[in-house]
Amino acid sequence: MNISVFGLGYVGVVTIAYLTSRNHNVVGVDVNSLKVKMLNEGICPIVEKDVPEMLKDAKDKGLISATVDAAEAIGKTELSIICVGTPSEPNGNLDTKYLKNACEEAGKSIRDKVSPHIFVFRSTMLPGTMRNIVIPILESSSGKKQNEGFYVVFNPEFLRESTAVFDFYNPPKTVVGSDSEEIAQKVLSLYEGLPGPMIKTKIEVAEMVKYVDNNFHALKITFANEIGHICKSIGLDSHEVMNIFMKDTKLNISTYYLKPGFAFGGSCLPKDLRAINYLARTLDLELPLLSSLLPSNHNQIQSAIKRIISQGKNKIGIAGFSFKEGTDDLRESPMIDIIEALIGKGYDLKLYDRNVYVAKLVGANKDYIEKHIPHISALMVDSLDEILEDRELIIIGNKDPEFIRIIEEARDDQMIFDLVRMGDKVYERANYEGICW
């Protein structure tokens, strides 16, 4: 395939090295004439393992050239990959001036082109940037319409400096966001044979995925560093502690706990967070991440309460109020906070949880319920049918399999507020709302 790559920085040059290694003819484009000159001479303009040798090989095979003229590059190619920088502005927003300039030049360059051109964007950009900035500029500068005179695709990169070539050939996933199934498949063909899942999705989802990756990496580093400060202060080897932590790939290093939903609760997480933060204070340590977790969890509970109240329904049913399905443990269940708030505001409540029987509660669980919601027995009903019968709003509080009935059987005049993503999908019905989806 004949491909042009806009932006001869880190991502662009590594992309060129990869594409030419697969025998694609590539034209590099940049406003910096020195970078263009270097590439034309087969010289690598960045420092990255294996790339200089790959570019020299591409030059020897006649697969690589470079120019400052966008129109020349697009005229020779059928697909353009945009890798220009999107640095930060002082307020944290993205500086899109390079992106806008590239789109302006690219759009002008296809104005008189007969065949539809494909633009693949690898520049990191906030969700909505493609739809609100990139596509309008391409349309206005080209005089053509998306999905007619040209196509756009967002294809985020997941490269690490110093290991970029290895990462290119060993991606954990390949993501393509496009409005066209056919064009998405054509872009994916550039990566044919590489390991990892090939994912076709919406443009905005693909834009967001890159930020989720990088922010999670930052979260992990910060978490490990804060644990390290505690360990050092009490004379423990933080690496030994974390090496043991990482042995657990069932929960600790896994996909578990990574689906958006309601607040955490139970007898362990809140208690242990309070304890570790108390320890940090006694050691005069400031741990912004660990100290932010309980307030953030509280905000999730308050957000749910506000959204319940905003529905304007008085007769409310709660299905599931133990802190998770399959247990009768009510200690620090976030659902108890919701129940308390609604009782205090005078709502007509019915509560159902087949695992919670007040007469059978003993010990700490009984003490907890008597302290927080002593009138719970008067609010509880014996079956889900009683919730479905007359409630105006039904809240799903945990993932008991029985509660799928609410999704299937609720009437059109009954609002469903799902805190746990029952059935693990979005339901296309007007009376359904999820807390984070």
* DSSP for residue 187: H
Query: What is 360-412 written as a DSSP string?
Result: G--HHHHHHHHHH-TTHHHHB-S-HHHHHHH-SEEEE-S--GGGHHHHHH--T
Q: Detail the residues annotated as belonging to a binding site for substrate.
A: 158-161, 210, 257-261, 265, 324
Nearest to 5 by CA among 32, 75, 15: 15
**Catalytic residue from among 44, 83, 103, 268:** 268
What is the number of other CB atoms lying within 10 angstroms of the CB of residue 88?
A: 9
Scored b (16 or more CB within 10 A) or e, 365-391 reads: beebbeebbeebeebbeeebeebbeeb
* DSSP for residue 132: I
Contact (Cβ atoms closer than 8 angstroms) between residue 106 and residue 68:
no
Cα(145)–Cα(136) distance, integer angstroms = 9
| Whole-number CA gyration radius for the chain | 28
Cα(183)–Cα(118) distance, integer angstroms = 8
Contact (Cβ atoms closer than 8 angstroms) between residue 415 and residue 311:
yes
- Say whether 268 is catalytic: yes
Q: Detail the residues annotated as belonging to a binding site for NAD(+).
A: 30, 35, 86, 124, 161, 271, 331
Q: Detail the residues annotated as belonging to a binding site.
A: 30, 35, 86, 124, 158-161, 210, 257-261, 265, 271, 324, 331
* Catalytic residue IDs: 268
